Structure 1
């Protein structure tokens, strides 16, 4: 790998004669196979040369952040540019992690075993989706950390302690979030009581704010704005080619961000002209016709933009290392489009395009059952929220003649 990056014999000799040459070359080869450009590899090789010269012979025993900062101080003493410290850390730490030499800071968490057991219960016994488990884990972890920090023992918790937690933390939450957190903690405390970890009546005293069914309106952009977003991606720029395919899946099929992120190449059947996907809420497979416009957008992205990789997911990041896009990555793509085109909407995430899909189906007089099936809802009632903005149907209700019943 050094031979590909270094043009002069002196530079090649300097890199090969320095400590940890084999370790550095192996890591650079890994970065190259992950899609790193030659320019970035040269920068990495230079910083890793500095790191190898400053690390001690016992580096394989482990390097933590405190020790790395000591090495950084010696590096910046030679070159005091503003970006030197950040660049050195950003390049050296992944190398140390790759080698298994990096020591992650150990966070002592009193209730880690409790949290781990609860997560296993959510997965094994309740069969919750991964996203639900992650959300539940985060809410419960925050609560248990607060208990540990404030000196409250889980087995001795009283209702007034739960009230204190919500008073301390709820200033950061809106009403819906407070209700969600209350629901998650109610489930956790019910499970904790079954394990003998807390008072069995504790879960019964948690009351969140009343959230009325169908109290909110869909936050959908106008379909003309969705078309503007799609038109804005009609370029040859690789980012636009990829984003166009993503926006189409969100707005035409009403996919969730997690469903787009997890979509695999083998789920697109080019021969049968269908997309096969697993609906997270229904927990069952669903098949959609592969529309010509969507097929064209996907084929253009896969053939021209998508790099060859071992990952089966369709959508891969454009920057090295090339990994599958996450839900957060999908959100960033959609949000940036809303901002760039100055489209006013209550929420700028992928779910807004899912709502736009539903509103378009409402406008085309599809039934709530058909809309719910298209969006992968578990029941028709989940699609009822869109009926509140079906103005044509509401006008018909308003014009209904009660006759002699008035």
Structure 2
């Protein structure tokens, strides 16, 4: 890996000094590694990197891989990395502050919820008796029923499933605190079947294990691959075909049932109601009610 020492020190700083969650550390490590690999391929040195080199990264690599929103997120990731690199003398001072991200407006985009019938199709698709199907069904149900984030599913441990009391304890990544849910029947059955019948006999606390060797816990990116592969196989169309689409589907379904923004945001682990506001834009039934109002001749 190019600039491996700088990258490993960055990871250690995120983990030990910033105390970021494993999922966040993994994501930021991945983004920084992509950038450093591009630098190596372009014959650039981190120590002599110039603002125009970063512009070139966004104009060449970024334009082929990112939306405008993704480019803004990437700019935020790189600012953090470059500020750290500057603090240890690995790059020139002020490089991070020279970056300008694209403007983004609050609630500018629609959430990418799947129709609930498509979610049912996805769950039914994982109805086989082999290890892969049994595992994937439990994962999909956790994402769709509770609206969990992919990192929360990947980190789920066996001791967080309380069969005796019918409870599921989730460590919320954004709130940094546990949250207890009732263990609903379909999810309970899927989890118990995987743990008791299909899960390999490994001495690890995490529930979900890789199908192939090495038999280690699956990662958050692997959760994305599982959902994305199955959605594409079903021929479903959506702006984003991954775990977050199931989280949005969960929220949209709760909204359609008449729950308030707070009642939706709490189980989703949102810290503020603003994070839940985006789902109001797909409540088509309520929008139709507004459209049907008699305005008494007002223009």
Please state which band the TM-score falls in when normalised by the shorter chain: 0.7 to 0.9
**Unpaired runs of 5+ in structure 2?**
none
Aligned partner (choices 164, 173, 177) of residue 65 of structure 2: 173
**Compared with structure 1, are the counterparts of its residues 405 and 158 closer, same or farther at alpha carbon in structure 2 (3 Å cutoff)?**
same
Q: How does 1:2-401 map to 2 (within 5 A)?
A: 109=2, 111-147=3-39, 150=42, 152-174=44-66, 175-398=68-291
Q: Once the 2 structures are TM-superposed, how far is the Cα of residue 256 of structure 1 from its aligned partner?
A: 1.7
**Compared with structure 1, are the counterparts of its residues 221 and 308 closer, same or farther at alpha carbon in structure 2 (3 Å cutoff)?**
same
Q: Once the 2 structures are TM-superposed, how far is the Cα of residue 265 of structure 1 from its aligned partner?
A: 0.9
Q: Distance in 1 between matches of 2:130 and 2:37?
A: 46
**Unpaired runs of 5+ in structure 1?**
1-106
Please, what TM-score do these two structures have when normalized by structure 1?
Answer: 0.65
Q: Once the 2 structures are TM-superposed, how far is the Cα of residue 215 of structure 1 from its aligned partner?
A: 1.7
Contact 2:130 2:198 in 1 (8 A): no
Q: Which has the higher contact order (CA 8 A, sep 6+)?
A: 2
Q: Once the 2 structures are TM-superposed, how far is the Cα of residue 146 of structure 1 from its aligned partner?
A: 4.5
In the alignment, what sits opposite 1:15?
Answer: none
Rg (Cα) greater in structure: 1
**Compared with structure 1, are the counterparts of its residues 190 and 360 closer, same or farther at alpha carbon in structure 2 (3 Å cutoff)?**
same
Q: Distance in 2 between matches of 1:149 and 1:320?
A: 31
Please, what TM-score do these two structures have when normalized by structure 2?
Answer: 0.86
| Structure with the bigger percentage of helix | 1
RMSD of Structure 2 on Structure 1 (CA)? 2.7
Q: Distance in 2 between matches of 1:303 and 1:297?
A: 10
SS in 1 for 2:285: helix
SS in 2 for 1:285: strand
C-alpha deviations, 1:102-147, integer Å up to 9, x for none?
xxxxx6x4x4333333222222332222232233233333434554
Q: Distance in 2 between matches of 1:119 and 1:318?
A: 28
